[in-house]
Structure formats: C-alpha cells, structure tokens
Amino acid sequence: MALNMRSYWAGLKAVLVFTVIVIVYTFLMTGIGQLGMPDKANGSMVTNASGQVVGSSLIGQSFVDKDGNALPQYFQSRPSAASDPNLPEDQTDNVNYAANASSGTNKGHQDEDLIKSVTELRSEIAKREGVSVKQVPADATTSSSSGLDPNISPEYAAIQVRRVAKERGLTEEQVEQQVKKYTTGRGLGFVGEPVVNVVQLNLALDNLQ
C-alpha cells in the first residue's frame, strides 16, 4: 500500500512539474515573441493606408471579382487548392486561400485533369498578359503544396507589370520598383528561389494612389 502511494505521489509530482514547465515555457516564448518580434508573433498582419488590417503577408489572397475574373489593376496570385468548403456549390471554383481548407492537389504530372487545367490556364494567362504561352511560368498555373502561398516567381510578376501599370496610370518603371521592393532572394543566399509577395505588392500599389 505504501509503495502504491509513493508511486501515485511520484506520478502526481511529475504531472505538476511538467504542467508548470509547459505553462512557464509558453508564457516565456510568448513574451519573447511579443518583445522581440511582435509583428511576426501576431501573424505578420498587413494594414492599408487607413490602418485597417487587410490580411497577412504569410497567406495569399485572390484578386478577382465576384465571378472569379482577374481584377486587371492587381497582380494575380498563383492558383490555390484551398477553397472555402462553406461556399455555395456555384462558387466553389473561386480561389480564396481559406486557411481551414489548406491542402495540395497531389496530382501526378501525367494526370489528365491537371494537364487540362494547366493548359487552359496557361492560355488564359497568356491572352490576359499579351505574351506567348511559352512565357507563362509554371507557378502561374499550379498551386503550392499548402494552397496558401502568397508568393509568385519574379518571372510571373514580370509579365504582369505592363497590364498593372496601364490600369493604374503608372509607368512600368514605377511598378517594377515596387516589384523589386517586395522581392525576397534565396534563403542564406542559396536556399530556394527568389519570390515576390503579391499581397504586400498589391497593397503597396494601392497606397501609392
């Protein structure tokens, strides 16, 4: 009986100790985050010129009208497989980067549906941007693994500059400067590829006008 009580007491003490450790660790990390990098700790939120939160620099957005057509004054994001499951059936094709629906398509490069989708989207983008089909980069027609990526390749951004500049009454040089400002290079100089944050870029363009 005494042995059992000692075992119970030892187990209780272990639970109490680890509970305190977890709580202290959580508050400690939260405090460090709030003091050292509050912007990142709070979700990397971005605001417009009025100070209103309009999203996060970590999660992509769709810049389309209610019918799913690209808004010409905005740089377009890459496709997303993360559509809100609560949308009506006739709106489920609208890409909206819903975090609660993050997922990949996991389709092989020979999948017929994927080939059809990529081919159609490539032609649509080429027509919209006034370029050849060969100039449309892969990320313009395929979703990221999470379906929430806010970034596009510099190549995809480059073919959109002319359209955006024309729609906003800006020079191409002005738009290119903003693209460059929101382009991030390779991590540590060699990891990954350069990317352009579409959410931040479009917000910056709105704030120019």
pLDDT-derived band at 75 (thresholds 50, 70, 90) equals very high
More confidently predicted of 30 and 1: 30
Q: Per residue, what are the HEC states of 141-194? A: CCCCCCCCCCEECHHHHHCCHHHHHHHHCCCHHHHHHHHHHCEECCECCCECCC
Residue 185 confidence (pLDDT): 83
Q: What is the pLDDT of residues 15-34, one digit of tens each?
A: 888 888 888 888 778 778 77
Tokens of residue 84, six digits? 């809100």
Task: For residue 122, count other CB atoms closer than 10 A to its CB.
Answer: 18
Question: Do the beta carbons of residue 77 and residue 84 sit within 8 Å?
Answer: no
Per-residue pLDDT, 103:
64
- Residue 149 in contact with residue 172, Cβ under 8 Å? no
CA–CA distance, 89 with 99 (Å, rounded to integer): 19
pLDDT of 106: 65
pLDDT at 47 over 90: no
pLDDT at 98 over 80: no
Give the tens place of pLDDT for each residue, 114-160: 788 889 999 999 999 999 999 999 999 988 777 788 999 999 999 99
Note whether 188 and 165 are within 8 A (CB): no
CA dihedral sign of residues 95, 99, 100, 103:
positive
CA atoms within 13 A on the CB side of 126: 14
In 3-state terms, what secondary structure has residue 12? helix
Q: pTM of the full predicted structure? A: 0.75
